[in-house]
Amino acid sequence: MATENPYAQYHVVKKGDTLSKIAEEYYGDKMLYPKIFEANKDVLEDPNKIKPGQKLRIP
Amino acid sequence: MRFAKVFVALAATTMMLIGCASQKEPAEKAVAQIESSVAEFRADAEKYAADELKSVDESITKLKNSLASKDYSMVVKAAPSLASTVASLKQTVAAKKADADAMIAAATAEWGEISAKVPQMVEAIQSRVDTLGKSRKLPSGLDKATFDTVKTDFESMKTEWTDAAAQFASGQADAAVRKAREIKAKGEMILAKLGMAPAA
């Protein structure tokens, strides 16, 4: 089991968040949302379905 | 009367020769003991107290010269003082070695901690730099000039880390740790510029 990287950044999903909005916040480009989706496939099945309170890793 | 004078002179010479001969063995033994004592810690002394060792070696050479010129009484007289100096040097070397060992142990422990963190830091920064490099626009709080500086600093950080690891592998633990501290600080500065607050 891989240890968690203490320098990895996380985002806790708020009401109204989308992966595109999160990508724009962290990367400045909403089109980069697949990066976040790929990094969180263990908790996300669909990039369009995220829930408030989910903790997503921002690679 | 003349016979008496000759007799006295002969007697005195004989006594002197006997006296010298009786000091030969203790003199040789004293020098051998001093040399043997120094040999026990010579390697460490060369490392931790080279100047003091040089001075002791010079004194031993003088003693051996006196031995060679059969000045045994001088050797017997000077040997205790030199033996005491050697004993003192042995203690000094042992103390310096203990300090050096403790410093290496502390540096090795710190290296263990930092060397676990820096690669994780590099991984996190690399991922973000790669992603931002593909972005059509940088996020708020990060302008192009800052991002360019970050990329330059990050490349030097990776090179410095390779150097520090090589330094540690070559036994220069203290120097490697000093460099590692600077690298970690540089990494934290890069993380801050990228807006990546550490999870801790």
Tens of pLDDT along B10-40? 555 554 555 556 899 999 999 999 999 999 9
CB B72 within 8 A of CB B39: no
DSSP, residue by residue, B64-111: HHHHHTT-HHHHHHHHHHHHHHHHHHHHHHHHHHHHHHHHHHHHHHHH
**Ranges of each domain in chain A:** 9-58
Reported as a pLDDT band with limits 50, 70 and 90, residue A3 is confident
Q: How far are the Cα atoms of B34, B93, B176 from residue B88, in angstroms, in the given order?
A: 12, 9, 33
**pLDDT per position as a tens digit, A15-56:** 999 999 999 999 999 999 999 999 999 999 999 999 999 999
Q: Chain centroid to CA A9: how far? A: 10
DSSP, residue by residue, B25-46: HHHHHHHHHHHHHHHHHHHHHH
Does the distance separating the beta carbons of B198 and A7 come in below 8 Å?
yes
**Under CATH, domain A9-58 is a member of which superfamily?**
LysM domain (3.10.350.10)
- What gap in Å lies between CA B195 and CA B157, rounded to an integer? 18
A13 Cβ under 8 Å from any chain B Cβ: no
What pLDDT score does B47 carry? 95
Minimum-distance CB partner of A26 among B136, B137, B139: B139
**pLDDT per position as a tens digit, B118-175:** 999 999 999 999 999 999 999 999 999 999 999 999 999 999 999 999 999 999 999 9
Averaged confidence pLDDT in chain B: 91
Mutate to test the interface with B, among A7, A24, A26, A29 (most CBs of B within 10 A): A7
**Ranges of each domain in chain B:** 2-98, 100-193
With a cut of 90, say whether residue B65 has pLDDT above it: yes
Minimum-distance CB partner of A28 among B125, B127, B138: B138
With a cut of 70, say whether residue B200 has pLDDT above it: no
A2 Cβ under 8 Å from any chain B Cβ: no
What pLDDT score does B80 carry? 97
Chain B partners within 8 Å of A27 (Cβ): 131-132, 135, 139
The residues in B 54-113 lying below 8 A from A, measured between CB atoms, are none
What pLDDT score does B163 carry? 97
The one-letter amino acid at B188: E
Q: Report the share of chain B in percent with pLDDT over 70.
A: 88
Output the pTM of the full model.
0.74
Minimum-distance CB partner of A6 among B127, B132, B199: B199
State ipTM.
0.92
Does the distance separating the beta carbons of B137 and A10 come in below 8 Å?
no
A8 Cβ under 8 Å from any chain B Cβ: yes
Tokens 């050479």 appear where?
Answer: B61
Average pLDDT over residues B166-191: 96
B119 Cβ under 8 Å from any chain A Cβ: no
- What gap in Å lies between CA B109 and CA B197, rounded to an integer? 26
Minimum-distance CB partner of B135 among A7, A8, A29: A29
What pLDDT score does A4 carry? 85
Chain B partners within 8 Å of A35 (Cβ): 131
CB B174 within 8 A of CB B103: yes
Nearest partner of A56 among B132, B195, A38, A2, judged by Cα:
A38
